[in-house]
Structure 1
């Protein structure tokens, strides 16, 4: 499980960027809600320790238990559906002696690990009907359980990550093209059914948020848009250099509580207002750097499973970061997605750090690692057509 690694293969650039963005997160969370800053700091320290431990564990050894990982993932989601604690109309949390955590955040990492091994095992027959059906069936079970919580954003996030993993594994362009031709009309029909009928396809609050985005000028949905409008105002008010952390300006959207969940869903509004355009760009560059390093290490992985772990984590950080910022800037309907490594939430933070630990271990076992050059071939390019 533990091996002798070469220290020069440890990606300290990624570690430095993770520490930097998490430090900014601690400052921003403390500004949004001072009572949570200590917890966030403890979460970052604990996350870094978890990342270090996982980074020294052989990811290939861990993936040998991929069916146990999948079973654990399903078990956690079933527990949430049956015994999860409710908050704001959704049952997404498990309470254990006063400690609350959201299993869906952990399940994202578990699913990336599972499909990294499953798809590598089926690399040679990935484009066969049987493998595609098995893959869809395996992802459908957790997606249905997550959708029942209800948690539409994470359902869509995991579905997109699954599609990216299938593409990276070598899914044929013919199958991808045929799927797109089928999926796009289905999405259009689904949106028409949601917006033009009263069919109970999604929950009412989810429908209202979508309707508010499409019919933004309708006074009926003004309440659903107010948070995003206040967020946009806060970001714009920061101008180039921002108002400064923990400022006491009366007009502050953060201090004035004009933006709800500013420590989590709208943390980018706090960054825009208090750190300005410069600080917001710094956050974006750090996120981009983390995603880039994950992809770069994936390209040097010793086998396909390592590549899929790195690309899966890169996709998770990129998708969640994009959604969070798109919501804060009014591009997407309001949905509660945390900004990776910045928003408050220990379950999300620790899960991401565990995932980054796996990425770092993949980097330690690159193609120059003993045995790596013999185990990995770029078969994906051969199986595209």
Structure 2
């Protein structure tokens, strides 16, 4: 709540118009994603479902729902989410637990829950739930979050969801941990504690990797993908990137999407972008993500209250982490793991909750403090 200023006048809050620059960047990314998805998935859709537009239709429906969610959330007062932060987080825990017992397995990973003909990934909801929860938890104890102990107390909140999600989805668990670190870093006045926190995080990740043998196998494949059968996808993705050259082979002219890159419309879609649009197209796409991050950064810097700042910073952290990890996987900079490229890769649940996050960022941008 806004309090009186030094002259005794009450500060008022009014809603500003939508941040149209953010809306424009999001719409361009979504539109580009649908165009690229059709090119990338047409062959696979025809072979598996006798419908070239199979994946496009499903993604278009999820995008339409997501844009509706973005609009609805953008009209909300984000302060009201405080009452829903803990229940939403508990709900994400219940959904993640349900995946362990009733989840559907696809490509060796149990990550989906089905409700009749519909299926979704609870881990995508967990990212949003963690952003909302930690934003209000941290803003409520800002004066205390100056010591390593207090940082750990904040991190304790998300350990249950990290453990549940990480059982079958290590990449999303890493993203959730990264979001938490971004939020704590945003609110903390110092930097020294993050060196120790980062070291402990790396140690935790090392232990987590060693628990399952297949995770250690991924490290070996990353070091020498040509020596392993499971390195096939990585090698084909690199071939696609290399064959694109400076300007690419042209829209729809990719050869690697014709079964050479398995499930090219998913995590490896950036390799097809490089093949069809070349280095220039890849740089332009990365530039769009940079514009999106810049707008989110501006919102975080100029919103008047800490909870709004943390919400925008958490969404920004999510986008930055996921884009960097996806491109790093496709270029074999890090070991292969299932991480989608925001707004571009096929995945209805992903695009739905990403657009809901954009709506939340727009809601934050609308709330400013003005002198009467």
Deviation at 1:319, TM superposition (A): 0.9
Distance 1:163 1:36 in 2: 35
Q: Residue 211 of structure 1 corresponds to which residue in structure 2?
A: 220
Could you report, residue by residue, the CA deviation over 1:109-134 in whole angstroms, capped at 9, with x for unpaired residues?
A: 11100000000001011135664343
Q: Secondary structure at the match of 2:288?
A: helix
Instruction: Tell me by how many angstroms 1:329 deviates.
Output: 1.3
Q: Within 5 A, what are the aligned runs for 1:107-122? A: 107-122=126-141
Which residue number in structure 1 is paired with residue 326 of structure 2? 324
Contact map agreement 2:248 2:274 (CA 8 A) in 1: yes
What is the rounded CA distance, in whole Å, between the counterparts of 2:319 and 2:297 in structure 1?
11
- Mapped to 2, the partners of 1:235 and 1:322 lie a distance apart of 16
Corresponding residue for residue 378 of structure 1:
none
Aligned partner of 1:22 among 12, 30, 45 = 30
Q: Give the whole-Å Cα distance in 2 for the aligned partners of 1:321 and 1:106.
A: 18
85-94 vs 48-57, which moves further = 85-94
For normalisation by structure 1, the TM-score amounts to 0.85
Matches within 5 A, 1:221-300: 221=228, 223-247=229-253, 252-255=255-258, 257-300=259-302
1:344 to 339, 346, 356: 346
CA deviation after TM superposition for structure 1 residue 260, in Å: 0.9
Aligned position for 1:379: none
Does the aligned pair in 2 maintain the 1:122–1:131 contact within 8 Å?
no
CA deviation string 1:255-277 (max 9, x = no partner): 2x110121011110111111122
Q: 1:85 & 1:70 partners in 2: Cα distance? A: 22
Match of 2:20 in 1: 12
Task: State the distance in 2 between where 1:235 and 1:110 align.
Answer: 35
Q: Cα RMSD (Å) of the superposition?
A: 2.2
After alignment, is 112-121 or 235-244 more displaced?
235-244
TM-score normalised per structure 2: 0.88
What residue is the counterpart of 1:175 in the other structure?
A: 193
Q: Distance in 2 between matches of 1:177 and 1:106?
A: 29
Residues 1:100 and 1:188: Cα distance change in structure 2 (over 3 Å): closer
Q: CA deviation at 1:90?
A: 2.1
**Contact kept? 2:151, 2:184, Cα under 8 Å:** no
Distance change (3 Å), C-alpha of 1:207 and 1:229: same
Deviations 1:315-368 (CA, angstroms, capped at 9, x unpaired): 111111111111111211111111001111010001000111010111001344
Residue pairs, 1:182-197, within 5 angstroms: 182-183=200-201, 186=203, 190=207
Q: Are residues 203 and 4 of structure 1, via their aligned partners in 2, closer, same or farther at CA, if it must alter by over 3 Å? A: farther
The aligned residue for residue 304 of structure 2 is: 302
Structure 1: which 5+ residue stretches go unaligned? 195-199, 371-385
Question: 1:46 Cα deviation (Å)?
Answer: 2.2
Q: Which consecutive segments of 4 or more residues in structure 1 shift more than 4 A?
A: 181-184, 187-191
Segment of structure 1 superposing worse, 92-101 or 359-368: 359-368
Partner in structure 2 of residue 381 of structure 1 = none
How much has 1:52 moved relative to structure 2?
A: 0.8
How far did 1:88 drift? 2.5
Q: Which residue of 206, 211, 228 corresponds with 1:201?
A: 211
